[in-house]
Amino acid sequence: MERLIAGYRKFREEVYPERAEQFAKLERGQAPRVLFITCADSRITPELLFQAEPGELFICRNAGDIVPAHGDHTGGVSATVEYAVRALKVTDIVVCGHSDCGDQVLKLFAHILNEQVRPGDVVARWGGDEFFVLFDCELKDALKRAQQIASRLSTRYEFYVDGKSVTLPLRASAGVVEYRTGESAADLFRRADQAMYAAKPKTPRGNSPE
């Protein structure tokens, strides 16, 4: 904390006076042209990476640079996107990932999914911890394959944090719906999302998370 206080004092006494005119302009409002969504990883510094000045980037950060699907419930990311587009009228939206991201569990899920899919299938990440798989097969076969994938994903996963081994029990739920002729992608995904939540087992508080 002392390091932060010293840094703020230096900003007030040395940096701010030299750029007083710039900050006075920013006091009157902001007009960034770019919404920049990236990971909360402390090693990522958008302004430094892109040599941007204060007021140029409207930044949203979270673990894994996740942008959830639009739905009935508004969260911090969706509110940020809406404000950037409707109020600030940004012209560009950047979703910036990075190498060696700590989202190790989702990496495992993606790896297992890639092992299970067939030619003609389509895999897409939806929201934070959800994946959609579009099966090119009959509903009966899709149900069987979805259950096999969920079973394969339900495992005990070992990873390392600060050099220490951590074991995390994982569970996966699979909901399956059949495409309706003329149905929009948004409606199909919405029904699949509802089916997935309906398939989730009721977990007493204190048990392992999904």
Kindly state the percentage of the chain with pLDDT values over 90.
Answer: 32
Q: What is the pLDDT of residue 73?
A: 61
Average pLDDT rounded to a whole number, residues 6-23? 93
Per the model's pLDDT, the better-predicted residue between 163 and 116 turns out to be 116
In the CATH scheme, what is the code of domain 2-96?
A: 3.40.1050.10
pLDDT at 88: 95
Confidence of residue 105 (pLDDT cuts 50, 70, 90): low
Q: Which residue has the tokens 């989702």?
A: 106
Superfamily of domain 104-199 in the CATH hierarchy: Reverse transcriptase/Diguanylate cyclase domain (3.30.70.270)
Tokens of 108: 């495992």
What was the pLDDT predicted at 199?
81
- Whether 149 has a pLDDT exceeding 70, the answer reads yes
The residues spanned by each domain of the chain are 2-96, 104-199
pTM attached to this predicted model? 0.53
Distance CA 49, CA 60 (A): 15
